[in-house]
């Protein structure tokens, strides 16, 4: 009996016209992931994304560590967005243990997670620029990202993996004089990202490359279960910060950005518009934040949850990010499951690439806001 081989390795019937091409698994984008495309001349006839090369077993590891020592591990899937990745876990543990978070800590969390969303989006934008051969768009976001990384470093003490959120608040209060520095650098950051319009988003060459490629209709976006910027670029107004406000988002003034086109240009524009909303949220949160007060509730050394389970989700840089925690009266969780936006957006890739030119594959793939390490966990 012949053992069945995984897709891509199996011998296939030779067709006169169709050629199978393996893109990856070295580095088609950021992180190891393979896209198996079948091409007829320059046109893609079928596509099979093959994730799973960076599986680290984060969920299984979480079952052997207690609620506090899980924190540095669970922010590893996306180190550029580490506050947002940790957010649903921390919210879930708070509900399990029945902790009430101080008001000031909630505002600090919102500011940290919005700064982190911008840091992630700038990194994503830099890679998107270099995918399209626009090297200025690689250099500018990579440089301007430093403004926000500097703020996060002042706040949390680390440049990328912050380990800042804990059940019961945040680890430390803001440093003195932080509000002024934050306001100054966020205002300058907003001025800088507005300059990207002329060189990138209004650039006719970019529009010619990305408009009307990989079109995802509104019905397909809902049917395939996509989330985040992909869903909002297809004309569905769905943002968890508005629909299921967590912490203090319902008290803050912002709007969600929706575009109708559903092509790769719209999908790349939504995160950029979201960054400007993030700047508004940060300014408003700095204004409304209580000037003093506690930022952390003291916990027992080894907190235990009841016989309960909880599911919490937040809007991360890549869409809805959920965390399901089951506790069984032990200091360690019985099960931690992450439901990530990256994996849900990847499902749309075979539908988007059918009939496209091979040269458009990188821009369509990266416009899905996909992060291989997060999808494989």
Verify binding: residue 195, other proteins, rule CB under 8 A.
yes
Contact code string over 152-171 relative to other proteins, x by CB under 8 A:
-xxxxxx--x-x-------x
Verify binding: residue 335, other proteins, rule CB under 8 A.
no
* Separation between Cα atoms, residue 237 and residue 232, nearest integer Å: 6
Among the listed ranges 18-26, 275-283, 291-299, 317-325, the one in contact with other proteins (CB under 8 A) is: 291-299
Q: Which of 319, 137, 74, 315 is nearest to 221 (CA)?
A: 319
Minimum distance, C-beta of residue 355 to other proteins, in the bound complex (Å): 26
Residue 127 burial (CB count, 10 A): 16
**Alpha helix positions (H), 101-157:** 103-131, 136-156
Minimum distance, C-beta of residue 69 to other proteins, in the bound complex (Å): 3
Minimum distance, C-beta of residue 273 to other proteins, in the bound complex (Å): 19
DSSP codes of every residue in 226-255: --THHHHHTT----HHHHS--TTGGGS---
- Measure the CA angle with vertex 362, ends 359 and 363; round to 5°: 95
Verify binding: residue 19, other proteins, rule CB under 8 A.
no
The correct pick among 133, 175, 225, 359 for binding other proteins (CB under 8 A) is 175
Q: Give the residue with the Cβ less far from other proteins, 200 or 246.
A: 200
Verify binding: residue 286, other proteins, rule CB under 8 A.
no
Q: Which of 276, 57, 280, 291 is nearest to 178 (CA)?
A: 291
Q: Which of 73, 108, 58, 92 is nearest to 167 (CA)?
A: 92
Verify binding: residue 26, other proteins, rule CB under 8 A.
no
Verify binding: residue 184, other proteins, rule CB under 8 A.
yes
Classified as helix, coil or strand, 126 is helix
* Separation between Cα atoms, residue 319 and residue 373, nearest integer Å: 15
Angle formed by the axes of helices 103-131 and 136-156, to 10°?
A: 160
Segment holding 313, helix H or strand E: strand 307-316
Minimum distance, C-beta of residue 238 to other proteins, in the bound complex (Å): 31
Measured between alpha carbons, how far apart are the two ends of the chain, in Å?
34
Verify binding: residue 179, other proteins, rule CB under 8 A.
no
Q: Give the residue with the Cβ less far from other proteins, 171 or 242.
A: 171
Q: Which 204-233 residues touch other proteins, going by CB under 8 A?
A: 204-205
Classified as helix, coil or strand, 39 is strand
Verify binding: residue 43, other proteins, rule CB under 8 A.
no
Contact code string over 57-86 relative to other proteins, x by CB under 8 A:
-------xxx-xxxxxx-------------
Binding residues vs other proteins (CB under 8 A): 64-66, 68-73, 136, 143-144, 146-147, 150, 153-158, 161, 163, 171-175, 184-185, 188, 195, 198-200, 202-205, 294-298
């Amino acid at each position: 009996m012949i053992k069945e081989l995984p897709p891509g390795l199996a011998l296939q019937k030779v067709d006169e016209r169709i050629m199978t091409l393996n893109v990856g698994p070295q580095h088609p984008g950021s992180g190891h992931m393979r896209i198996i495309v079948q091409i007829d001349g320059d046109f893609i006839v079928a596509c099979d994304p093959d994730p799973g090369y960076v599986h680290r077993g984060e969920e299984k590891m979480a079952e052997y560590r207690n609620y506090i020592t899980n924190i540095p591990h669970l922010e590893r899937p996306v180190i550029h967005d580490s506050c947002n990745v940790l957010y649903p876990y921390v919210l879930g543990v708070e509900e399990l243990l029945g902790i009430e978070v101080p008001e000031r800590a909630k505002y600090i969390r919102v500011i940290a997670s919005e700064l982190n969303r911008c840091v992630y989006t700038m990194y994503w934008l830099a890679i998107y620029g270099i995918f399209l051969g626009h090297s200025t768009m690689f250099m500018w976001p990579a440089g301007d990202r430093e403004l926000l990384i500097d703020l996060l470093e002042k706040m949390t003490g680390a440049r990328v993996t912050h380990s800042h959120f804990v059940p019961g608040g945040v680890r430390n209060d803001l440093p003195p004089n932080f509000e002024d520095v934050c306001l100054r650098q966020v205002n300058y950051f907003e001025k800088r990202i507005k300059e990207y319009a002329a060189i990138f988003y209004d650039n006719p060459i970019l529009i010619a490359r990305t408009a009307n490629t990989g079109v995802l209709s509104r019905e397909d976006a809902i049917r395939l279960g996509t989330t985040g910027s992909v869903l909002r670029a297809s004309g569905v107004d769905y943002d968890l910060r508005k629909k299921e406000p967590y912490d203090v988002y319902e008290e803050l003034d912002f709007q969600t950005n929706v575009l109708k086109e559903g092509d790769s240009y719209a999908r790349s524009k939504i995160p950029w518009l979201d960054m400007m909303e993030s700047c508004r949220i940060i300014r408003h949160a700095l204004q409304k934040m209580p000037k003093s007060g506690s930022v952390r509730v003291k916990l027992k050394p080894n907190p235990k949850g009841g016989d309960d389970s909880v599911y919490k989700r937040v809007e991360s840089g890549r869409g809805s990010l959920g965390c399901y925690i089951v506790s069984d009266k032990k200091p360690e969780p019985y099960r931690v499951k992450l439901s990530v936006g990256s994996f849900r957006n990847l499902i749309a890739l075979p539908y988007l690439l059918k009939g496209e030119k091979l040269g458009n594959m990188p821009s369509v793939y990266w416009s899905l806001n996909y992060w291989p390490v997060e999808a494989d966990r």
